[in-house]
Amino acid sequence: MSNIFPKSANKLPLQIIIYLGVLVGIATAGVTYYMTPKYTRVGYAPIQPVPFSHAKHVQEVGLDCRYCHSNVDKSGHSNVPTAQTCMNCHSVVKSTSPLLAPVRESYEKGTPVPWVWIHTTPDYAYFNHSIHVNRGISCVECHGKVNEMDTVRHVQPLSMAFCIECHRNPESRLRDPKDVFNLDSKTLAEQGRHQEAQEYLHNWKVKAPESCSGCHR
């Protein structure tokens, strides 16, 4: 047999094992890196049953976030508007527009508008909207400048790393209470009001959890 296989063939099994190990390592690293929310979520902008423009409704008309998302400062869940909310205006404004047919149908039948969810939290993660907005964290920190979007898209990864970064340095994200729903406003830190940010941090008892149990309950 020694005449058939050269002596270097004895190293072949070890070389194969090393090769497979490197290959598995590269594949694992690639999947781990490219399957993070930064790549799987950011930029996601599904087609909605009704082409709702936040830029028009917020920037031009001047609607407050809470007119449509009425529970965002009262509940852990930020609700989407019902057909009744839409029809408060659209029973008069563009009342026959074909683009609003799903809203009119929903209103007449008492069924929800089939909006496509864009920002969702995994079942294993706990997030409370009211806690954040009532402690000076603006919608823009997680959702971006929605007030300038014709089509809402996923701007931030909303990954664990993203949340932890904020929880470790919450004073950098705090806004004056009156500015929380003003998506064009700046944080206290951005305005150079660092002392006030520290005071709010103390007075509001902002203690952003960094332990696992804070978000995984």
Show pLDDT as tens, one digit a residue, over the chain (217 residues): 556 767 776 777 777 888 888 888 877 776 665 556 666 789 999 999 999 999 999 999 999 999 999 999 999 999 999 999 999 999 999 999 999 999 999 999 999 999 999 998 888 999 999 999 999 999 999 999 999 999 999 999 998 999 999 999 999 999 999 999 999 999 999 999 999 999 999 999 999 999 999 999 8
Structural Rg of the chain based on CA atoms: 25
Spacing of C-alpha 123 from chain mean position: 15
CB within 8 Å of 39: residues ≥ 6 apart:
33
Cα–Cα distance for residue pair 102/123, rounded to 1 Å: 29
Q: pTM of the entire structure?
A: 0.79
Cα–Cα distance for residue pair 156/174, rounded to 1 Å: 18
